[in-house]
Structure 1
Amino acid sequence: MYPPFRVAAFTLAALATAGQALADPPAPPRPAKPKQAVIISFDSARDISQWKRSRALAERTGAHFTYFLSCVFLLSPETRMQYNAPGKSAGKSNIGFAASKQEVTERLEQIGLAASEGHDIAGHGCGHFDGKDWSKADWLKEFSSFERILENAYAINGVAPEPQGWRNFARHAVVGFRAPYLSANKALYEALVAAGYQFDASGVSQGPARPVAGNGIMQFSLPQIPEGPKSRLVIAMDYNLYVRHSGGFEQPSKSNEFANRTYDAFRAAFDKQYAGKRIPLELGFHFALMNDGAYWNALERFAGEVCVKADVECISFRDYVSRQDAAPKQASVGG
């Protein structure tokens, strides 16, 4: 017969063992949330000072941007006849041309610097015409004009020396497009696929939406986000906010108010995704300083806060697409 203390010890050990057997197995670790993507882009990309300002913002925050370039800004008054839009006579543009050969030279330099810093140079057509009624052939003509003018910009304008590798960059680096006025039609998407583009950013969605892949092209949409005292929806682009705030007319006395409203709208849209499903947030801008720079001031404040977060990446459209393309390949390695 065992001594009483040994019986007690055995009983406690048995109970401990039984408790372990009856306990629930530990829950598997939750998968880590993906980084919150923020995709910031600029349409037309004209003013040299804004090229510099945007690149400085990127350097401070670690962001990479997409610049949707309008190719008429690579033509001076002397070389504007190089562009002939569908259905228009040569030398016509809705947004003018570069003011001088010197301006073209400086813009080419900024494009090259931005590309070398990892930014995405994409297409916005040339003359900023509304292509809602264009045919596939019309769109292909516009794409061809863009490609030819970008590739030959140094030669067309008599700017020397042409940087080594420029033509290779012009032929291969531009893989994305945004339609002027966000005015897209079925013929546009047919032409984009035929021309070998990888993404289009001409869509508009009810809120932040994941891009849709189809027919060899990824389609992105600028979201409508709540803004202002009544939280009415507005497209997350500076021009749309400008029209919302001041009817498209300058009100510099209210610049701070408009900047704060814009920042609040951006931050609320970001926070919702950051705490939730982490759908990419797209924000669109121009190089124009509307309402005394209110929207750029809001952008710099916003990017300075969120792009520096460890679990946030302010990324270009091109790089976002590249990562999506690479994901299945990575998953299959090692079988």
Structure 2
Amino acid sequence: MAATQRIAAGVALAAACATALAGCAGGTPPSHATHTVKKAEGAPAPKTAVRLIGDGSTSYTGAQPHLPRPERLKPGQKPPQFVVFSWDGAGEDSQKLFSHFRKVSKANNATMTYFLSGVYMLPEDKRDLYRPPQHSAGSSEIGFNDQQGIEDTVKQLRGAWLEGNEIGTHFNGHFCGTEGGVGQWSVADWKSEIAQAKSFVKSWKTNTGLKKESALPFDYDKELIGARTPCLEGRQNFMKAARQLGFRYDTSGVNDQLWPQKKEGLWDLSMQLVPF
């Protein structure tokens, strides 16, 4: 499976920010997914009994370990440097990009957000379970996954979360720049797409038959708080849907070097242009 042709990288310096723009083009699965931020060391999660959710694809394991701890700046203290590198899609394929950037994260004491495409948790032979808005059932511009790919992706998602990283969403079929693409979706269409993306993560065991595999260690209904739209399109209606569904941020915009601020009830984490 080839990686989608999406490039996004950035650097934001607190006083003189510089972060890079992420663009996107349709492609085939599944490797585009990270968003890194410098972090402080957090305490590991307390040991607790695992509570399986649904079919056992996800679970509640207690507070997430190694979360960053924000600290208020002292008067005159320079803000920290933030570094962002994005690969939207968050699937592990033959290129091993997911596992590679987990190593990069640990080597640089950083945390990342992996924007997971839900169809990378859905096997090709179950593609008809996906009913994309304004498209026929089983359609996808980035394909689906196979059983080994899903098993490998689950392993990476599990490890990433336990290391203190966030799991966001990049939705599903990646329809953009075409008739019926995400730029033309209604609020109801976005709600359907989000619900389906969540359902594929929450039912990968049922859809693959990998019943003996360990569950993901998080409740995706609570974990999922932010997203980036395909090709950065359809943001206006997505934000309306996201706000109603309790999301906390959106990162589908492009902006100058600015500190994040709230826009229509969501934190605006637009990708920032690098002047050179």
Contact kept in structure 1, 2:92 and 2:149, CA below 8 Å:
no
Distance 2:87 2:207 in 1: 25
Larger Rg: 1
**Among 139, 152, 160, the residue aligned to 2:203:** 152
Q: 1:101 to 1:164 in 2, by over 3 A?
A: closer
Aligned residue for 1:43, secondary structure, equals: coil
Contact kept in structure 2, 1:133 and 1:185, CA below 8 Å:
no
Show the counterpart of 2:175. 129
CA RMSD of superposed structures (Å): 1.8
**Among 215, 236, 248, the residue aligned to 1:186:** 236
Q: Does 1:47 align with 2:92?
A: yes
Contact kept in structure 2, 1:122 and 1:175, CA below 8 Å:
yes
Query: Per-residue deviation at 1:124?
Result: 0.6
Query: Per-residue deviation at 1:145?
Result: 0.4
Q: Does 1:174 align with 2:220?
A: no
Show the counterpart of 1:73. 120
Contact kept in structure 1, 2:111 and 2:165, CA below 8 Å:
yes
**Among 174, 193, 197, the residue aligned to 2:247:** 197
Aligned residue for 1:88, secondary structure, equals: coil
Show the counterpart of 1:223. 272
Query: Per-residue deviation at 1:165?
Result: 6.1
Q: Give deviations 1:44-73, integer Å, cap 9, x for gaps.
A: 122341111101111111111111111111
Show the counterpart of 1:120. 166
- Aligned length in residues: 196
TM-score in terms of structure 1 length: 0.55
Q: 1:60 to 1:86 in 2, by over 3 A?
A: same
Q: 1:89 to 1:33 in 2, by over 3 A?
A: same
Residue type of the alignment partner of 1:38: V
Q: 1:195 to 1:60 in 2, by over 3 A?
A: same
Q: Does 1:210 align with 2:255?
A: no
Show the counterpart of 1:35. 80
Q: 1:60 to 1:187 in 2, by over 3 A?
A: same
Say which is worse superposed, 41-50 or 72-81, in terms of deviation.
41-50
Query: Per-residue deviation at 1:221?
Result: 1.1
Aligned residue for 1:225, secondary structure, equals: coil
Q: Give deviations 1:169-225, integer Å, cap 9, x for gaps.
A: 2221111100000113421111011111111000001x3222221343111111121
Show the counterpart of 1:89. 136
Aligned residue for 1:78, secondary structure, equals: helix
Distance 1:47 1:88 in 2: 26
Residue type of the alignment partner of 1:116: L
Query: Per-residue deviation at 1:154?
Result: 1.6
Query: Where does structure 2 lack aligned partners over 5 or more consecutive residues?
Result: 1-73, 177-181
Residue type of the alignment partner of 2:111: H
Query: Per-residue deviation at 1:164?
Result: 4.7
Show the counterpart of 1:61. 108
Contact kept in structure 2, 1:40 and 1:66, CA below 8 Å:
no
Bigger share in helix: 1
Distance 2:272 2:175 in 1: 23
Q: Does 1:101 align with 2:147?
A: yes
Q: 1:104 to 1:30 in 2, by over 3 A?
A: closer
Aligned residue for 1:40, secondary structure, equals: strand
Distance 2:274 2:234 in 1: 21
TM-score in terms of structure 2 length: 0.67
Contact kept in structure 1, 2:185 and 2:234, CA below 8 Å:
no
Distance 2:148 2:213 in 1: 14
Distance 2:75 2:244 in 1: 43
Distance 2:137 2:252 in 1: 26
Q: 1:200 to 1:209 in 2, by over 3 A?
A: same
Identity of aligned residues (%): 30
